[in-house]
Amino acid sequence: MNLRLELKLAWRYLGAQRRSLFVSLISLFSMCGVFIGTFALIVALSAVNGFEAEVTHQMIGKDAHFEVMNLRGEQIYEPDSIAKLIMKNDKEITAYSPFIIYKVGVSSKRVNDGVVVYGIDTETAKNVIDLPSKMIEGNFNLDSSSIILGSILAHRLRVEVGDKLVLQTFQSTDEIMGGGPRMMQFIVSGIFETGMYEYDGNLLYVSIASLQRLLGMSGVSGIQFKVKDPWKSDIHADKAGSFLGHPYYATDWKNKNQTLLKWMNYEKFIVAAIVCLIVLIAAFNIISSLIMVVVDKTREIGILRSMGLSEGSVMRVFISMGSFIGLFGSILGGIAGLGLCLAQERTRFIKLPADVYMMPFFPVQVQIMDVVAVFLIANALCILATILPAWKASVMKPVRAIRHE
């Protein structure tokens, strides 16, 4: 019975009354603060999750899970034999593909540029990287004169499928080049789009044989591998490097992008901490509003105490008031935040400049544990904010409270 009375009193004190309209407005503003804080936290955390998921997906799709190369930068002449030995030693590896990577100049009829070119075997590469699914024009097959490139690079070079491009080495190296810089003409056979500006604007792919002719090579730069669980790629890379020994080494996609991955991990914590300040400010508003309610209702509190309401009951009345503010604010803020995130996931109506943010849209990914954590944190702060004014109200002497004017 006491609990029902306590909740009824708490609800009544929150409502707008003639004598306490200003106090009720402050309570409403506090609820708005909790609403905004909860909304902002859910959207911010979902954005961080979405950005991390999108970036890692693109990195895994473009890159192999791990690569084996020569420490001295020398060519690998028997990639198939080495790859089969590594796969025999590690059953979690599912596919491999040799590759060559080099920086070259590229020229169209109108534009000259410097880019990174990959020499790949399309038959084995499609089992290791996700590039075939990213083709938006043409096809992924590469013959001796074919070249595929990113959509942003194609736009920059002003070329389409069927146009000609010329690749040229920047410098000569006697051992590799056998003379001066070399040139080779290719025909654009396909254009891909990963959604990552750095990839779509700077990468070309040709066949291994074509790039070997251009560079005067007979071997490859390294071997790419795919494993069952990409998040354990570092374990498999270390295993492969230890198995082969010097002068070979292995590096996984996480190690190649460790700065970006560390930044994304720190970003989530920093964003959450900063946005939590909004909820904290709302909690201070709750303290102010409850103190004003205590002052405004001093006489009523005294009457209730003289009628037998215990100190604990009075304290619970004011804690319930803060709980109502936190509960309604966090629920409404959560619904608004989830609604915006779900709408963005489905329609992607919020766009971003791809050259700045690496992707053309605002990515979001809602994680239920984040929503639960935000809800609990918001309500916990609101409840903690009620303790001081609730305690102040509970220790009032009934006689003094009744005589209060």
Q: Is the pLDDT of residue 282 over 70?
A: yes
Among 26-30, 45-49, 86-90, 219-223, which is the least confidently predicted range?
26-30
Q: Which residues of 350-386 are buried (b: 16+ CB within 10 A; e: fewer)?
A: eeeebeeebbbbbbbbbeeebbeebbebbbebbbebb
Residue of 149 and 296 predicted with greater confidence: 149
pLDDT bucket at 1, cuts 50 / 70 / 90: very low
CB 44 within 8 A of CB 349: no
Among 183-187, 195-199, 292-296, the minimum mean pLDDT is found in 292-296
Residue type, 18: R
DSSP string covering 229-280: -GGGHHHHHHHHHHHH-TTEEEEEHHHHTHHHHHHHHHHHHHHHHHHHHHHH
Residue-level pLDDT at 180? 66
Residue 374 CA to residue 258 CA, distance in Å, equals: 28
CA distance 61 to 293: 59
Q: Are 205 and 154 in contact (CB under 8 A)?
A: no
CA distance 316 to 251: 59
Which H helix or E strand runs over 98?
strand 93-107
pLDDT above 70 covers a percentage of the chain that reads: 90
Mean pLDDT of 291-295: 75
Task: Spell out the long-range contacts of 305-310 with Cβ–Cβ below 8 A and sequence spacing 24 or more.
Answer: 305/396, 305/398, 305/401, 306/398, 306/399, 306/402, 309/2, 309/5, 310/2
Specify the amino acid at residue 248: Y
Best CA proximity match to 279, nearest among 360, 136, 377: 377
When mean pLDDT is compared across 54-68, 254-268, 315-329, 351-365, the lowest value belongs to 351-365
Question: ∠ at Cα 272 (266, 273), nearest 5°?
Answer: 90
- Residue % of the chain over a pLDDT of 90: 31
**Of the candidates 121, 101, 103, 128, which has an alpha carbon nearest to the alpha carbon of residue 113?**
103
Q: Report whether 250 contacts 241 (CB < 8 A).
A: yes
Interhelix angle 258-296/311-347, rounded to 10 degrees, is 140
Better pLDDT: 229 or 282: 229
Average pLDDT over residues 308-318: 80
Does residue 100 have a pLDDT over 90? yes
What is the structure's pLDDT at 187?
92
Question: What is the mean predicted confidence (pLDDT) over 267-287?
Answer: 79
Which residue in 124, 69, 128, 129 sits closest to 100, CA to CA?
Answer: 69
Q: Are 282 and 328 in contact (CB under 8 A)?
A: no
Pairing state of beta strands 112-120 and 93-107?
antiparallel
What pLDDT score does 283 carry? Answer: 79
pLDDT at residue 50 tops 80: yes
Which pLDDT score, from 0 to 100, does residue 260 have?
75
Distances (CA, A) of 301 to 22, 25, 27, 259, 317: 19, 21, 19, 59, 10
pLDDT averaged over every residue in the chain: 83
pLDDT at residue 398 is higher than 70? no
- The mean per-residue pLDDT over the stretch 247-264 comes to 84
Higher per-residue confidence, 296 vs 198: 198
User: How confident is the model at residue 18, as a pLDDT?
Assistant: 46
Q: What is the DSSP string of 179-234?
A: SS--EEEEEEEEEE--S-HHHHTTEEEEEHHHHHHHHT-SSBSEEEEEES-GGGHH
Give the mean pLDDT of 236-259. 89
345 neighbors 361 (Cβ within 8 angstroms): no
Q: Which of 128-132, 133-137, 267-271, 328-332 has the lowest mean pLDDT?
A: 267-271
More confident residue, 391 or 10: 391
Q: Which of 42-46, 99-103, 113-117, 388-392 has the lowest mean pLDDT?
A: 388-392
3-state secondary structure of 404: coil
- Over 70: is that where the pLDDT of 118 sits? yes
Question: Is residue 259 predicted with pLDDT exceeding 90?
Answer: no
- Cα torsion angle, 251, 191, 197, 154, sign: positive
pLDDT of residue 303: 74
